[in-house]
Structure 1
Amino acid sequence: MTFTEPHPPVADVAEAGWGNLWPHFTRMAAAPGPVITRGEGAYIWDEQGRRMLDGLSGLFVVQAGHGRRELAEVMAAQATELAYFPVWGYATRPALQLAERLADAAPGDLNRVFFTTGGGEAVESAWKVAKQYFKLTGRPLKHKVISRAVAYHGTPQGALAITGLPAMKQQFEPLTPGGFRVPNTNIYRASEHGDDPVAFGRWAADRIEEAILFEGPDTVAAVVLEPVQNSGGCLTPPPGYFQRVREICDAYDVLLVSDEVICAFGRHGTTFACEKFGFVPDIVTCAKGMSSGYAPIGAMIATDRIAEPFQHGKTMFPHGYTFGGHPVAAAVSLANLDIFDREGLNRRVLDNEAAFEATMRKLLDLPIVGDVRGDGYFWAVELVKDKATKQTLDAEERDLLIRGFLPAALRDNGLYCRPDDRGDPVVQVAPPLICGQAEFDEIERILRHTLTEAAALL
């Protein structure tokens, strides 16, 4: 095909284009997946005209829903006026306005906004700024990062080193040195204090102090944690956990990074999830829901204390991205946040999260469902072989269900969501924030039907 030829019908694209597209996180030998052609509200349609409830907000992204014409119009208007200019010594009005708005929304003195084009870049930037900050303040050995087992923090070499998923890293090793792991907060699988959330939270937090002391406080720069951990299936923080982590970081002069690439922008009912869970970090990383996916954008937001040593003499942060703070992405993010304010999407999540939880917990009567956990509009259903003993699925059974049966069956039954086994096998749901009880019921009904079929295969 030449660029001057007309575009072929969608069906032809599906057949021909898969030979050129390199899909992400996908087995290349697998049959081609569906081609999604449009979205409206909480629903998407494929090239065959099948409608599916978008139970994952694309990829934890489309907070305000699909097909928002006003957002498309903002993008067109900005592109007509100024489609692109970098923030390398210059600025654009949308980037300045968005930086101010994010700083106003962030807790404490998180006032300095460094734009990226996605979450992995934001995490990469956080590690780099932490290392340089300590060099500038006379503690050059502080470079290590502590994160949690099974946690995912991105694909760049630094962010991947922070990621706690060995299988995702093996093909790219050696990675950036300096990443170390501590236990996560999966109380369902807890070997310590599994019947006492407060004691379990203290135990898990104290493992961070233990790791800092083992590595040496003079060498540890940061602790990177998601407010609710994605990989492993929506692992929520036990009561008091983050308060204890904050104490530990302060005691050893270690920066606390709240990785909110998924959790920010209403997923838990607040602009930044650290607010909901009662702690103020030194750095927030965010992306995804900032624009509801209408354009790629992310950010690292740092406190005034961290930014201060960069503001003297000839000092600079020698780091940046060509498309960071892109004016079209920044403009549509501002319009997206206007929708949040006008339609009260954060308040909507807080008002509906109990109903969503109650609806999801109905699935606990299925023999294949061991646990249902999450917060806000972010939930996971853990699958087990034996409910009484919590016996998990073996490798063959995981392959059969997680990569074989469930993706196509859920799609055929009308639900797009995420079967995942980067920790224990789960099915995750995170619908757009515009959803309510009708969509919750639809999610539960489709999951019930599909998981019943899955159980029969075991």
Structure 2
Amino acid sequence: MTDHLWLHFARQSPGVSPPIITRGEGVTIFDDAGKSYLDGLSALFTVQVGHGRAELAQAAARQAETLAFFPLWGYATPPAIELSERLARYAPGDLNRVFFTSGGTEAVETAWKVAKQFFKLTGKPGKHKVISRAVAYHGTTQGALAITGLPKYKAPFEPVTPGGFRVPNTNFYRAPEPFDADAKAFGRWAADRIAEAIEFEGPDTVAAVFLEPVQNAGGSIPPPPGYFERVREICDHYDVLLVSDEVICAFGRIGSMFACTDFGYVPDMITCAKGMTSGYSPLGAMIASERLFEPFYGTDTMFAHGYTFGGHPVSTAVALANLDIFEREGLNDRVRQQSPALRATLEKLYDLPIVGDVRGEGYFFGIELVKDKSSKQTFDADEKRALLGRVSAGLFEAGLYCRTDDRGDSVIQLAPPLISGQAEFDTIEAIVRGVLTQESGAIA
């Protein structure tokens, strides 16, 4: 049945058919046999307002009837204009210039190219390198892949675009001594590794630092107190651009339209996608400060970059309708109010010997699984692969769609739609508990 479909990030074998999802309604998805599952991942950190919102489909249809497509290559369309104004209003500081893409990877690719050309135009042509964190995912195109801190994702495609360098991430559960008892000191240490990397590579060669507000790969890793304040100081000192990669974290996932606001920093660029349309149509964006846009404005200089479907009229119309739902239903306030309850519900799982850490922010959490709780011993590669395979299958069979992540240590990731509440939290906890109780018995 699926013989001609090449799946993304999936191993495929003859005679093995993947689950086929046919319908969504609210926080629930259904397969082709009619079985229902709680969507504990918002499809892919994307369906913020839930499935089956007729008004978003209707917004797409209305726009398609009026103007189905026209590119932004030297032209503009009304929904792209309106959405750019709205995003600029939501963004912090003077991040007022919106470059639309088709998705998140393209937004990251765009940001790096902006950084390179900006410094060429402002008399610092050697600044082209980027720094990101270990185990961080920033996309799959050759440029974005160079920023991604996951060696196994790059190995099949090397050599990738040169210029990407890594620093430690902010997983406090795995903090080295003597910082494992003081989150603020650990945050300062982790931020200072960025300054160290800039010095080592040469400040005249480093263009940008790419950081997610809460790092996805490795399991929903939040920033320690003071981390981003120190990173901002470092970037300002070395004239390095700070890019807040919010492809996952924007649009209410952490509690504000842009998560940099939640953590009190103003970046030079924001990359975003996913929740902008709640996945009802593909769309991404790079949002830049006035400082970065200035060399491209009122001159003969062109940013020679673009995408056919970037800022697609249907997608931008859907995004506007999606953001109307955010405002009408107060979804950001809902996340801020309900997040402590989600955390507390998941933390009940600490009584299981396999659960080492529960971490995250907003509606974006990870549960790290360990072999030995007292020593925080993790699983070796073979054990991890087998464990997460069983856990993933068990959770799905029990009626929960979420994600197991092996890109760092062993993690279950949870990011329910923003319309979820205590009933959904309890269901998630009960299903995860049932599956992990079996695994705890197996490793005891």
Q: TM-score range by the shorter chain?
A: over 0.9
**Structure 1 CA distance for aligned equivalents of residues 32 and 164 of structure 2:** 43
**Structure 2 CA distance for aligned equivalents of residues 95 and 32 of structure 1:** 39
1:11-410 equivalences under 5 Å are 16=1, 18-29=2-13, 31-192=16-177, 193-402=179-388, 404-410=389-395
Matched to 2:176, the amino acid is S
Aligned-pair CA distance for 1:52? 0.3
Q: Match of 1:79, SS?
A: helix
Determine if contact 2:385/2:406 at 8 Å carries over to the other structure: no
**Structure 2 CA distance for aligned equivalents of residues 416 and 401 of structure 1:** 17
Determine if contact 2:402/2:412 at 8 Å carries over to the other structure: yes
Aligned-pair CA distance for 1:313? 2.5
- Please give the TM-score of this superposition, normalised by the length of structure 2: 0.98
Matched to 1:367, the amino acid is P
**Structure 2 CA distance for aligned equivalents of residues 322 and 454 of structure 1:** 48
Q: Match of 2:180, SS?
A: coil
Aligned length: 441
Matched, 1:425 2:410: yes
Aligned-pair CA distance for 1:241? 0.2
Determine if contact 2:248/2:272 at 8 Å carries over to the other structure: yes
Matched, 1:445 2:408: no
Q: What's the CA shift string for 1:321-352, capped at 9, x where partnerless? A: 00000000000000000000000000000010
**Structure 1 CA distance for aligned equivalents of residues 440 and 103 of structure 2:** 37
- Please give the TM-score of this superposition, normalised by the length of structure 1: 0.95
Displacement over 4 Å in runs of 4+: none
Q: Match of 1:194, SS?
A: helix
**Structure 1 CA distance for aligned equivalents of residues 162 and 202 of structure 2:** 15
Aligned-pair CA distance for 1:79? 0.4
Identity over aligned pairs, percent: 69
Q: 1:4 matched to which residue of 2?
A: none
RMSD: 0.8
**Structure 2 CA distance for aligned equivalents of residues 457 and 173 of structure 1:** 39
**Structure 2 CA distance for aligned equivalents of residues 323 and 73 of structure 1:** 20
Aligned-pair CA distance for 1:299? 0.1
Aligned-pair CA distance for 1:29? 2.0
Q: 1:9 matched to which residue of 2?
A: none
Q: Match of 1:400, SS?
A: helix
Tell which deviates more after alignment, 191-200 or 272-281: 191-200
Aligned-pair CA distance for 1:58? 0.3
Q: 1:12 matched to which residue of 2?
A: none
Matched to 1:349, the amino acid is V
**Structure 2 CA distance for aligned equivalents of residues 312 and 29 of structure 1:** 55
Aligned-pair CA distance for 1:457? 3.6
Aligned-pair CA distance for 1:397? 1.3
Please list every run of 5 or more consecutive structure 2 residues that lacks an aligned counterpart in the other structure. none
**Structure 1 CA distance for aligned equivalents of residues 227 and 127 of structure 2:** 24
Aligned-pair CA distance for 1:452? 1.2
Matched to 1:96, the amino acid is I
Q: What's the CA shift string for 1:267-320, capped at 9, x where partnerless? A: 011000000000000000000000000000000000000000011321000000
Aligned-pair CA distance for 1:454? 2.4
